[in-house]
Structure 1
C-alpha cells in the first residue's frame, strides 16, 4: 500500500506547477552520498530481530547527578536517557555511513541541488497525549531551539533560511544556499517538540516537570539526582514502522546514579545494575574478575566497530595567553609520554591518536595529494607550512619513561616562544610570572594518567596541579570556559558536516556553552569548515576533511591521547542480541531480555 501511495504521489509531483520530476525526488529516505540501501517497501533493518520479545527491565548506571529533564538548553544537568522520549522526522540506519529513513515523516521531496526539502508527515504520528504531530510543531521546534536552545543549535542550523508549515502535514525547510548538502539530512534528526506543551512554559529554564514527547518511552518515576525510570509505551504510535521494528524491547529502562566509576563498578559486580560499557583499560584488565565472571553469570565482550574514533585529548584553552602560542602548545605535547602510559597504565590497550578523524578514511595520514593541495593552496601563508610538506604525528617516545630528548626539545620551543628559566622555574620574560597549569578533572580514575604528565611538566619548570570537581561543577566550568586544561574529546561520524562548525569555527570561540572548547578563532579553519560542509560529493568530503585535519594538527591545538576501535561491554547474562550487529553503532536498543530472565 505504501508503495502505491508513493507512486501516486510521484505522479502528483510531476503534474504540480513548480515541481518537476526531473529535478525533484520523492523518496522514503535520503542518503548523504550515493544510494539508499533499503528500498521503499523494506520491512525492518537487517541488524534487528523483528520477532524480538518485549518485556523485562534493564538497569544502567550514570555518574554524578541530574536536576533537569530539559536536555536542549545550557542550564541545568539533564538526566540520562531523555532521548528515549522523543521522535525525529527521520531515523538513521546504523549499517550505512549516513542514510536516514522516514519516522515522523512518511516521505520527503528534495531537489537535486538540495536547496530546500519538504517533509510529509504521517497522519498517524502523535505525541504521548494523543495529539497529532503537525508541521507547526516542527516549525516551533526549530524556532525554539535556535533562539533559546544551547548554542550548538544556532551553529548547527545556521544555514537554514526559513521553516514553513505548508499545511498541517507538510513542512518546508529553505536553506540560505545549496552548498550545504548535509543540511537536508540533519534537520530530519532533531527531536520534535510539542508546541501545545511548551508554548506557555519557560523553555530556557531547567525543570523536573516531566516533558511531553512522542517517542517509545516516557518517564515513569524518578528520585531527583538518584534514579530515573522510563517505561515503554504500549500505545507508541510508531512501533510497527520499519525503522522501529525490532527496537525498544525493554519494558523499563532505569538509570541509577553513582558518585564515581569505582563505586559504580562495585555496584555492577553486586548485581545492582545489568549492563556496563567500560572506558577504563585498567578496570577492563583488572576488575572484571570474580565468581560471577567465572561461572558465566556476567558476560564480558569486546565488539569491534567501524566508527571514526575522533580525537580524545588534553584540551588547551587557547583563550588564555599562556596557550596562545603554537610553540608553547607543541612544547607541552612533548611532555606527555603516551608509550610509557600505554604500557604501564593502560596494559597496551590503546592506539595513539594522531588525527582528529582517526579510524576513518578522512584522517590525514599521508602527504596531501594534488587534489587536496588545490583545496589548501589558497590558504598558503595562513596555515603552518608543514601542512603542505609533512605528515603530522603526535610525539612518540621509547616508552621507558626517560624522555630527556623530548624535554630538551620542549625547552628550546619554550625559550623561542618568550619564556625563560630562572631557579628551575619557567617564567615569562615580560612579567616574570611562573607558568602555572591547573588540570580540571571530574573522575578520580584519570588522576593516574595526569600525574605522570604533571611530573614531566614540572621538569620543564611548570607549576602543575589537579583540580577534581563533581560532574555538575565540571560541566558548568566547561560551559563558561573556566579551565586551563581538561580531558575531553571531539566525536566524529562517518560523514562529518555541520557539527564541525560548532567544534572549530570562530563563531563559537566565545559563545558560552559551545563545543569549541579550544577557543579556536582562525580564518583558515573557518574557511575549511565551510568548504567541508559544502562538499558536493563523497570524494570532496574526504579531501576537504583531510585538509581541515592537517590544519588542526599542525596548529597543535590539543595534546592527542589515544583510541580503541572496540566497544568493551559487560552484562549480566539476561540479554540476547540479533545475529547481525550494525557497523556503526553498539545497537543496545536492539537487544532483548531472554524470556526466562524477564523478572530478574
Structure 2
C-alpha cells in the first residue's frame, strides 16, 4: 500500500492545522434544503425545492420505454468511479479504497434515490418510495418499496439499508465515507422504514449526495456478513440492480448481464433504460491496442480522447464503407476540472510562485497546434463552461463576499479573474520562461550547476507521473521547458495498478487529472477536491493537498446558499481564490464528446443536459446490425 507522504518537515497534523482555523463568518441565512417542506412524504428532492416530474410519473422524458431489448454493448468507458480502473482489474468490490475494480460495477446495485439527468440536482425515489425531512433537517426517514428484491430473490429491507450506510461510513472508499462523517446513526425502524440521523454539522445538502447513484448502494447484510467487504477476492457482491456480473476474466474482460425480472423495471425512475442484454468491457493496457480492437469490431463504441487519432486515424475500411460512424455530441452542462496537479504535500510545490512558474512552462498554443490539431480550447476555471466560472472583475455581490477575506486570500483574487497567459506559440516562449525562473528565484530557489536549489541545498525535482505512453509524446515539450528553467524534471510511466496506488496515496510530485462535478456542485463534492479535511485522506480527490481556511469557509458558504443566485456568487468567488492560489494548472477542454461507433445502435434525440450514460440510454438495432454484417 502506498503511504501518504507528509509534507517535508511537517507532520500531517501540522499540515492540516488550517482545518481547525476555519474563518468564522456569517453565512447566507437558512439551512439544508430550506425550500423543501418538513414532515411531508416527498417523492423527490432537489437542492432548491424544484422538481420537474410529479409523483407517479411514467418515465423520464429522455428514456425510451419502447426500445427493443437485447444485444451486446461492448464499449470502452470514458469515465469511472471510486477505485475503478479502465486498464485492468483485480477485485469486484468497487466501493472500497484498495484494489482495482472494473468500471460500471455500480449498475448491479440500487440506491435509495436516483438522479434525473435533465435537471441540475433533482433526485427521485427508487428503493425509497418517499422521504420525510425533520424540522431541523438532521433526520431523514425513508419508506422503502416492499417489492424491492436482491438478485437471489430475497427481500431488500430497511435493515439492509441501515447496515450498508454504517458499513460505507466505516469501510467504504473515502469518496463515499467522507460525506458520511456526520452520520450519527442509520436505523431500521421497521422492515420498510429507514431513518438516517446526522449530527447537524453535515453539509447542508449532504442528503442529496448520500442517497443517490452511482454511490451509496444498498448491500445484502446477510451476504456481507458471510463473505466480507474488502478487495481481496474476485467475488461479486450480491446486488439488486438492473444488471449482475456475468462472465469475467481478471484484467481482461467483464460482462454484465441484464436482469430480466428486475424488480424496478416498470417504475418511473427506471422505465425506459438498460436495453442491452449484455454490457461488456474489454481491458487494454495500451491505447493503440484498444483502438485496433475497435477497428476490428471487437469493441463497438468508444469516445475518442486522442485528437490525433480522431483527426487522422479514422480512415479504415469500415469507416469508408459507412459501417463505422463518427459524430460529435455536445458536452453536458456540468463543470469539468482538468489540469496538472502539483502535490503541495511536497515542499517544492508549497509556494504559489513555484506553481505559477510551472504553469508558465506549459505552452498550450504550441501543443494544441502541433499535437492536438487545434481541437481544444484552453481552460482557465475550476468550474469551466458553467455558470460558476468567474470572469473579468468581480460583480458587486462577489466583491462584497471577497471583502470578508481581505488580508487572507491572495491579492490576485480581488482583481480580474486569473487566466492562463497566451504564449507566442513557439514551444519555448523565452519571455514566459524568464518570468518562470524569476518567480522561482523570488521563492528562494537559486541555480547551482544548472539546477535550482533551495537554501537547504535541496534540488528542485519534479517527477510527472503518467500511466499511458501518449503523455510521453504530448508533454515532452512541457518537461523540456521545466528543465530549461532549472527544474530537475522527468516523466515517469508506470503500470495501471501502480499508478492507481500512488495516486490514491498521494505518492507523486505531479499528475494530470480530470474530475467531473455535479451540475449543482455541493459542499460534499467540493470538500473532496479542495477542503483541508480531505487533504490527508487517502483516496480523496484532493490531489493538490489544498488546506486553506479561506477555501474551507467559501465551501461552507456555498453549501449554505438558499438560492441558485447565492450559490453562483459563492462559487465564483471560490473559483477566483482557487485560481489565484494556483492549486491546479488548468489544461484544456472540448465543447463536444467525440464519439465513434459501429452503426448498429438506436438512440433518442432528447439527450439529457446533465449526464450521458450511453450504456443505459442506447439500444441494439437488429436491422442496422444486419445491414453492416454484425447481426
Q: TM-score range by the shorter chain?
A: over 0.9
> What is the deviation of 1:187?
2.3
1:181/1:25 CA distance change after superposition, 3 Å: farther
- The unaligned stretches of length 5 or more in structure 2 are 1-35, 78-85
Q: CA RMSD in A?
A: 1.8
Matches within 5 A, 1:74-85: 74-85=97-108
SS of 1:186's equivalent in the other structure is: helix
Q: Measure how far apart 1:476 and its partner are.
A: 0.5
Q: Which moved more, 1:486-495 or 1:113-122?
A: 113-122
Q: Which residue of 1 aligns with 2:594?
A: 568
Q: Contact (CA 8 Å) 2:184, 2:198: kept in 1 or not?
A: yes
Per-residue CA deviation, residues 297-324 of structure 1 (Å, 9 max, x unaligned), is 0111100033224221111010010111
Give per-residue Cα distances to partners, 1:216-273, cap 9 Å, x unaligned.
1111111111111111111110111111111100001111111211110011001111
Q: How many angstroms apart in 1 are the aligned matches of 2:178 and 2:551?
A: 15
Question: Displacement, 1:556?
Answer: 0.8
Task: Give distance in 2, aligned partners of 1:69 and 1:592.
Answer: 26
Q: Is the 8 A contact 1:315 1:486 kept in 2?
A: yes
TM-score, structure 1 length as denominator? 0.93
Within 5 Å, which residues of 2 pair with 1:507-522?
507-522=533-548
1:366-377 equivalences under 5 Å are: 366-377=392-403
Between the aligned partners of 2:178 and 2:248, the Cα distance in structure 1 is 33
Structure 1's consecutive aligned runs of 4 or more residues displaced over 6 angstroms after TM superposition are none
- Between the aligned partners of 1:206 and 1:423, the Cα distance in structure 2 is 49
CA distance in 2, matches of 1:116, 1:564: 42
Partner Cα separation in structure 2 for residue 325 and residue 124 of structure 1 = 57
Match of 2:291 among 239, 253, 265: 265
Partner of 1:586: 612
Q: How does 1:33-52 map to 2 (within 5 A)?
A: 33-52=48-67
Matches within 5 A, 1:386-425: 386-425=412-451
- Asked whether the equivalents of residues 307 and 565 of structure 1 are also in contact (C-alpha less than 8 Å), the reply is no
**Structure 1 match to 2:382:** 356
Q: CA deviation at 1:178?
A: 8.0
After TM superposition, list the pairs within 5 Å mapping 1:90-489 onto structure 2.
90-111=113-134, 114-177=137-200, 180-189=203-212, 190-428=216-454, 430-489=455-514
Contact 2:38 2:132 in 1 (8 A): no
TM-score, structure 2 length as denominator? 0.89
- What is the alpha-carbon distance in structure 2 between the residues aligned to residue 402 and residue 259 of structure 1? 32
- 1:351–1:562: 8 Å Cα contact kept in structure 2? yes
Q: CA deviation at 1:374?
A: 3.1
Work out whether residues 123 and 208 of structure 2, in 8 Å CA contact, stay in contact via their aligned partners in 1.
yes
Q: Which residue of 2 aligns with 1:31?
A: 46
Runs (5+) with no aligned partner, structure 1: 1-20
Number of equivalenced pairs:
579
CA drift of 1:22 comes to 6.9
Q: Tell me if the contact between 1:437 and 1:462 (Cα under 8 Å) persists in the aligned partners.
A: yes
Cα deviation, 1:345-378, whole Å, max 9, x if unaligned, reads: 1111111111111110011123222322333333
CA distance in 2 between partners of 1:373 and 1:138 (Å): 45
- Counterpart secondary structure, 1:238: coil
| Further displaced range: 174-183 or 318-327 | 174-183
> CA, structure 1 residues 573+30, in 2 after alignment: closer, same or farther (shift >3 Å)?
same
405-414 or 110-119, larger mean C-alpha shift: 110-119
Q: Please, which of 525, 529, 532 is the counterpart of residue 558 of structure 2?
A: 532
Change (3 A) 1:178 1:436: closer
In the other structure, the counterpart of 1:550 is: 576
Equivalent pair of 2:158/2:191 in contact (CA under 8 Å): yes
Structure-2 residue corresponding to 1:7? none
SS in structure 2 of the partner of residue 501 of structure 1:
helix
Match of 1:27, SS? coil
